[in-house]
Amino acid sequence: MYFFKNNFSQTFWYFSPMGCGASVDGDSDSQTSLEEWEKAQRRRRSILSDVSDADSENSVTFHKDIQEKALKASGFQQGASIAIVEDINYSAARESSTLTNASDDDRLFLDNDFPPSEVTLYHSTNRMRDPQIVWLRPHELIMRPELLVDGVSRHDIVQGVLADCWFLSSCSAVAQRPDLMGKVIPSNQPLSGEGYKGIVTFRFWRFGRWVTVYVDDLLPTKKRKLIFSRSSEPREFWVSLLEKAYAKLHGSYEALEGGQAMDALVDLTGGLAEMYVLESAPPHLYNFLLQASSNGAFITCSRKGDWKETRKADANGLVSGHAYTISAVATVKLSTGSEAYLVRIRNPWGNDTEWNGQWNDSDTNWHNIDFNTKEKIDYSKRGDGEFWMSYQDFCREFEEVTICSLTPVLTHHSTLKTNAVAETPQPATILKTVHGRWEEGKSCGGSRNNLVSFSNNPQYLLTVSPKMNRENESKCNIVVALMQLRRRCVRHPRRKMLQIAFVIFSALGAEDLRGSLLTGGSKFITRKPGQVQLISGRPPQAPSVWISRYS
């Protein structure tokens, strides 16, 4: 659980022994045992037959040691391992694994924790296996491959057959900030030639800290074509390998099917993500989007529908159950004297599947905008999946919008100026991060539908005091983010996220909390219980004493 605040100088917390949720007791039946995982690790494709059995055994033993240490440190019992543990020291593992598996110049690194086999592709047992899939390295697909060609760009990303648009749309958003993407993708990692060892590393923000994930550069192909995501530049492979590293972080490629962009945005930036349902959005959301875009926030959106049932665009050129990137928000003056409120959106498919309504690339409305304005907002007719549409159409066609900021804009929505002049956001302070778990019979209180057990949920006491020079301020913003850990890693066909929520009560007196009143919080996430990892909220509060409780 993360806490952010602004406007007030002193904040006091009382933390109960248990922090925000990780796992609930009784999940061991849905996790792969260490022995089963070792067995799966030994499966090899014939294309990798040059790796000796002795090398394979040594590497498996090494990874077993670090995995057991990580399991012990994280509180899991042996035999109830998840497929990949975030707490592994990946930097040390990379060095040792390189020595074990790639000590000769003619031998390339093979990642036994994420082997080139079906266990890496799937976590469920009911998926149809494809014998045509062959794992190849970039230099086996093209001459002189590179991890990055002329840096990163939102236009690089092209989605494959995997339904992970929520992750790729987030990558496209973050790619607009090459300085931040450089944190995720370390430089100087050759894919051929001098220094090439067949290993690539990436960094992700996981529950309060950056972790390094290493992978080999073997990628699944069919007929020598990548089956999952790729770059629009044939010689560039950062998109494919970043997707592989993220899949390793979650246990398999299949674990990435279906999700929320806010989870990926946080993992890629370490920022705070907030999601808004457009049909119940605050009245000044457009101004908020404009301000967030001007301040360098990362924004995505999604449409209604089931991603499992549709892979085609509707009559308007939009895909149901699909995640998109919002790459720009602009208010432009028309030759008629009026203004147009526009949103630029990118489809991670990276092709000509685009919106064909008003303000599409060829719409006559563009005749009402002068050349300089078009150039300023980067208007083009590339047919690359990026398009403009009016804010009104956007709210009608899309269901949700997610905003992720490294420094959350802690200004209340109702105070945003109607002319949407971008202001420098006030710096937020991360006051506390708490880790823990719900335990059956102790702290699993459930929702407010059962008030008898609800009080068993972990609780926190919060006191907010105004600054001496801001006595006239009547409210501040407190942003609370609640996350659950490792649920995507569970290898089980019925794997799903837990339903999580938090509520905030007003304590009428520090000595008497029985008269508390509900003041804010989050709703239980029940519409998509299989996908939600993070929820957040920003209830405006006056200086007082509050109780925060999650369930």
| Per-residue pLDDT tens over the stretch 23-70 | 333 333 333 333 443 444 344 333 233 333 333 333 333 333 433 433
Split at pLDDT 50, 70, 90, the class of 125 is: low
Q: For 134-151, what is each residue's pLDDT tens digit?
A: 999 999 999 999 999 999
Residues designated catalytic: 165, 322, 347
HSE-CB of 518 using CA atoms within 13 angstroms: 8
pLDDT at residue 42, as a whole number: 42
How distant, in Å, are the alpha carbons of 43, 141, 227, 508 from that of 220? 15, 11, 6, 60
Q: Are residues 425 and 412 in contact, defined by beta-carbon separation less than 8 angstroms?
A: no
Which one is predicted more confidently, 428 or 450? 450
The mean pLDDT value of the chain amounts to 71
pLDDT at residue 465, as a whole number: 65
Q: How far is 204 from 198, CA to CA, in rounded Å?
A: 20
pTM, to two decimals: 0.70
Give the mean pLDDT of 438-454.
Answer: 75
Split at pLDDT 50, 70, 90, the class of 478 is: low
Q: How far is 290 from 417, CA to CA, in rounded Å?
A: 11
- Amino acid making up residue 516: S
Q: For 76-103, what is each residue's pLDDT tens digit?
A: 233 222 233 334 443 444 454 444 454 4
User: Looking at 88-97, 102-111, 384-393, 443-452, which range is the least confident one?
Assistant: 88-97
DSSP H helical ranges for 251-390: 261-269, 285-294, 371-376
Q: For 214-232, what is each residue's pLDDT tens digit?
A: 999 999 999 999 999 999 9
Q: For 282-324, what is each residue's pLDDT tens digit?
A: 888 999 899 989 888 999 999 987 656 567 788 889 998 899 9
